A and B are shown apart, each in its own frame.
Chain A
């Protein structure tokens, strides 16, 4: 049980920064997900919290105590690695007990904790086996079990599900969420998979090029991205981002996307922007608050069963929409997609920062 606080955390090699100026407070019992593409510094950040990487600048605080100079073994954290890192020369029981034997815990207590963890993870039949005799899913459970028995202040997960096949990943996702609820422990979880982030996280911290782009609850981050990167990273398909222009038109503003013009209900600062709109916010029919329609040529139709993803080609680029599975569309024909008020996001063309919504 603990809080974790990162203050201006950074790591650099010579001139190049791997991680820079990361500020993040993680509350007791929170499930914080560090999300981002590979190379964004999320694993490095996690490893700095773990004590596996040296910290070039800033501070890591666990429970209000600065741990920059505390060795990994003394930080009272447990970590689950992507490759599991099970000790190949020990059976499952010894793998689970290895971390406890070092910590002046009585053999009886070790025995009790191992048995409890094995029971909760369904590992009892495999306690005498070596890791090489286990399936991928079982190894994953042992790796998690090794963290649980330690009863640490903070659990760290470094892409723990990415070596599993798809169906097992869905199961383990559920199990890890249940585990978090049951233990009510502080967990920090690194992944590049937005579905894991959305489904498991209490909050998500999205990173890019060593910087934090946005932190917030999953739906808040999804609904109100603070910049074009977050907007384009979350969602499948992600938010459409196309160049557009805001023009002053009396008391309100007008939005021009190539030939199309949408009348906005509020006045915004005129200028070139990047328009962001989620595929599911586009519709064939006009709703009550319709601002108008974007027109383009249907260039691809992907029928996914429950829904249909249609791609329109505009002079400005492509726009994808998530539509009802009953809609009838023909390739190569023009199509108008209606836009409702409150679904538009505008980002600065140069910085990518949010400049307004409408």
Chain B
């Protein structure tokens, strides 16, 4: 009994320690985001005495975070909407039709999931410059769509292929054509998988740094991760402000997580098993 009790105590303290390790840094940044830099310098790990919410307003307006935030929102939202529709259409074609070249197209698209981004990034830079899409949110959106497309098609195709063929036959007999069944059957029946990919894609793109740093240079077109990095370079000293900026990037994701935690975890897990 005594040994058992000891074991429990050891386990509990290990779990608590890990929780402090996992959540501590996050709590720390959250507290710093509400403290001024002098306050932080005086006591980096003290809890904020007064909550300086005005720092968020300042970051938003004076430090241009409002612009970065909306750039991120616009690019991510547009890319997620496009990649969902385009990816679902392609997945529908691959899952529901048998045609010559189907396996080839599937294999070509899916194999790029494992490609390192470096194999495209330099050429993408050239292409975007040539087509006047360099330093434009439209260009970044298109690249984001292309980057997330293979995984999206992969996840949706697997799900769509499990929708019973007989539903489509029933719909055909009920008078619906090949294009209509996509809207009437595939999208509503495949909704759980679609929701998963939407969440997954949103998180990936919201956090992207590499494509943004290569394809965007104008300050007015920066996304949040770029904005934070720039801040880091420009104002190394102003730790308090950087912390606030970091929270602006993290909060939407955490809110997303709070609402869709199960589905999100599911999506991340599904995305892993490729």
Contacts and interface: CB of A to CB of B under 8 A. Distances in A.
Do A's and B's CB atoms come within 8 Å in the complex? yes
B189 interface: yes
A78 interface: yes
A83 B168 CA distance: 13
B25 interface: no
B181 to A, nearest CB: 11
Interface in B108-158: none
Nearest to B189: A89
B185 A52 contact: no
Given A52-B169, A83-B164, A87-B167, A98 B174 contact: yes
A223 B35 CA distance: 97
B194 to A, nearest CB: 12
A73 B166 contact: no
A291 B166 CA distance: 55
A118 interface: no
B166 A81 contact: yes
Interface string B159-192: 0000010110111111111000000110011010
Interface residues of A, number: 21
B175 A103 contact: yes
Given A87-B185, A88-B189, A89-B191, A81 B170 contact: yes
Chain B: interface size category: 10 to 19
B210 to A, nearest CB: 38
Q: Which of B171, B175, B185 counts the most A-chain CB atoms under 10 A from its CB?
A: B175
Interface in A60-94: 71-73, 77-79, 81, 83, 85, 87-89
A73 B169 contact: no
Contact of A73 (B176, B185, B189): B176
A290 B174 CA distance: 58
A216 interface: no
Task: Classify the secondary structure of B's interface with A.
Answer: helix
Q: Which of B169, B170, B176 counts the most A-chain CB atoms under 10 A from its CB?
A: B170
B100 to A, nearest CB: 16
B189 A52 contact: no
Interface in A98-155: 98-99, 102-103, 146, 150
A245 to B, nearest CB: 51
A241 interface: no
Contacts of B170: 79, 81, 85, 87, 146
Interface in B239-255: none
B177 A85 contact: no
A50 B173 contact: yes
A77 B175 CA distance: 10
Nearest to B174: A99
Nearest to B167: A85
Contact of B173 (A77, A87, A88): A77
B173 A72 contact: yes
A73 B191 CA distance: 26
Contact of B166 (A72, A85, A102): A85
A83 B189 contact: no
B191 A102 contact: no
Contacts of A87: 167, 170-171, 185, 189
Contact of B169 (A78, A81, A99, A103): A81
Contact of B175 (A81, A88, A102): A102
B175 A73 contact: yes
Q: Which of B170, B173, B189, B191 counts the most A-chain CB atoms under 10 A from its CB?
A: B173
A103 B171 CA distance: 13
A85 B175 contact: no
B176 to A, nearest CB: 6
A83 B166 contact: yes
Contacts of B184: 98
Contacts of A88: 167, 189
Contacts of A81: 166, 169-170
Nearest to B187: A89
Contact of A78 (B166, B171, B173): B173
Interface in B188-215: 188-189, 191
Given A85-B164, A85-B166, A89-B189, A102 B176 contact: yes
Given A52-B172, A79-B169, A87-B171, 12 more contacts: A50-B173, A71-B177, A72-B169, A73-B174, A85-B166, A85-B169, A88-B167, A88-B189, A98-B174, A99-B175, A102-B176, A150-B174
7 smallest A-B Cβ distances: which pairs? Answer: A99-B174, A102-B175, A85-B170, A89-B188, A73-B175, A85-B166, A72-B172
